[in-house]
Amino acid sequence: MSDQQAQKQAAAKAALNYIEEGMILGVGTGSTVNCLIELLPEIKIAGAVASSQVTEEKLRALNIDIVDLNFAGTLDIYIDGADEVNAQLQLIKGGGGALTREKIVAAASNKFICMVDASKSVDILGREFPVPIEVLPQARSYVARQLVQMGAEPVYREGFVTDYGNVILDTYDLDVSNPIAVEQVLNNIVGVVCNGVFAANQADVLLKAGNNGVETLMR
């Protein structure tokens, strides 16, 4: 097993400590979350709100009840991974294309617990990992032109359609030095459904796994 995979598993195991029997859990998407899902049968949760179709299917396969967020009220916790995280626990997410549903479930939760391996920690967001932006299909070119005007380089994620039937522009060279401001600017472009900067509503707890164990950082 690679170091990275071992770290994902360690972070997932640490996240298990936050889950209580009988709770309705918000569950993210991605390979780190998949490690958590494998461990979920250890705790008898009442159900889960899934952040993607893929996660939903994995949870159903374990006979975990899927709860519609509209009927779940405010969730105690949402657990997910990230593509990048900075020292303020602000994130880039959406590598798996589930950013919109992830942002909704995170916003509807009291606590966002983020699990990362060591490779995800950065000083400044967006220097290496492109910011995924979910866009209505008809607005793809228009939004791309707005991003180019901002000095960024959007790349259409070909062959990928989100759970909501939209497309993704993976956006390189975007200036994310002020994450809260850029998140807002992106939200204001007509045709943008959601962007992968999680700054206004960042993680509350970061479980950062390295080769020497899992470090817990709080906001």
- Measured from the CB atom, is 128 or 148 closer to ligand 5RP? 128
> Which is closer to ligand 5RP, CB of 35 or CB of 45?
35
Q: How far apart are CA 117 and CA 115, in angstroms?
A: 7
125 binds ligand 5RP (CB under 6 A): no
Binders of ligand 5RP among residues 65 to 104 (CB under 6 A) are 80-83, 93-99, 102
Applying CB under 6 A, the span of 27-35, 68-76, 139-147, 151-159 interacting with ligand 5RP comes to: 27-35
> CA 73 to CA 131: how far, in whole Å?
30
Given the complex with ligand 5RP, which of 119 and 141 has the nearer CB atom? 119
Nearer to ligand 5RP, 102 or 204 (CB): 102
Among 7, 9, 32, 109, binds ligand 5RP (CB under 6 A): 32
Tokens describing residue 190? 């007509």
The residue annotated as part of the active site, out of 56, 84, 102, 134, is 102
Residue 191: C-alpha distances to residues 137, 180, 198 (Å): 8, 20, 19
30 belongs to the binding site for ligand 5RP (CB under 6 A): yes
Q: How are strands ordered across the β-sheet holding 109-117?
A: 47-50, 24-27, 75-80, 109-117, 205-210, 213-218
Verify whether residue 134 is a known catalytic residue: no
Tell me the Ramachandran region of residue 191: left when phi exceeds 0, alpha when psi lies from -120 to 50, beta otherwise. Answer: left
Active site residues: 102
Positions in the binding site for ligand 5RP (CB under 6 A): 28-32, 80-83, 93-99, 102
